[in-house]
Amino acid sequence: AKVAGTERGVTEPEATFSACFGAAFLTIHPTRYADLLSKKLEEHGSDAYLVNTGWSGGGVGVGERMSIGATRACISAILDGSIKDVEFEQDPVFGFDVPKSLPGVPDNVVQPRMAWEDKDSYDAQRNKLAEMFQKNYEKFTGPGVTDYTAFGPQLKK
C-alpha cells in the first residue's frame, strides 16, 4: 500500500498491487513463480507466513501503523517455532489461518477485526480489499496458466 507520510502526495492509504512485489522485473508469467513457490514449499516441507507490518485499527485518523515491537514479536514467534504451538482460526474472506493469539503481541494486533472499534467499517473495508484482489487477479487467469483464484478471497454473494 501507499501510506501517507511515506509517499509524496498520498494523504490516505491506497492499496496497490505488484505481482511478486516486482512486476517490472519478472521474466516469466507471475503464475509460473507461484507454481515454483508452491513446488518448493511442498518439496521442502516449508511454511509461509504473511505478517502485516503496515496499518491496522481503522482508517485515516483512527488506525495506526503496526508497532516495531509487535512486528518483532510476530517474526520471533515464526523464527523460534512458537507460532506452531498456538491455536489458529481461518479468516472468513481471505481464507488464510490467523493465530488467535501470539506471545508478546496484543490480541487486537493478531486479530485485525478486534483492532477496529467499528466492526461494520472493518467488514466493509475487508470486503472492498477482497474485491480489489479479485479484480487484480483477473489479469493472471487464462489458458495455459494455473488458476489460483480458489486460493484468493471468497466473498459471499
pLDDT at res. 108: 86
Q: What is the mean pLDDT of residues 3-22?
A: 75
Measured distance between the N- and C-terminal CA atoms of the chain, rounded to whole angstroms: 27
Q: Decide if 98 is inside a domain.
A: yes
Q: Decide if 60 is inside a domain.
A: yes
Q: What is the DSSP letter of 5?
A: T
Q: Decide if 80 is inside a domain.
A: yes
Q: What is the DSSP letter of 90?
A: E
pLDDT in tens, 123-152: 999 999 999 999 999 999 999 999 999 999
Q: Decide if 114 is inside a domain.
A: yes
Contacts of residue 23, Cβ cutoff 8 Å, sequence gap at least 6? 30
4 vs 55: CA distance, rounded Å? 11
Q: Decide if 79 is inside a domain.
A: yes
Contact 107, 101 (CB under 8 A): yes
Q: Decide if 156 is inside a domain.
A: no
109 vs 116: CA distance, rounded Å? 10
pLDDT at res. 82: 96
Q: What is the extent of the structural domain holding 93?
A: 49-121
Q: What is the mean pLDDT of residues 32-58?
A: 94
Total count of domains within the chain: 1
140 vs 23: CA distance, rounded Å? 12
Q: Decide if 41 is inside a domain.
A: no
> In the numeric block, which cell numbers belong to residue 148?
489460483
> In the numeric block, which cell numbers belong to residue 71?
512486528
pLDDT at res. 17: 84
Per cent of the chain over pLDDT 90 is 68
The residues that bridge with 36 in the sheet, in sequence order, are none
pTM (2 d.p.):
0.84
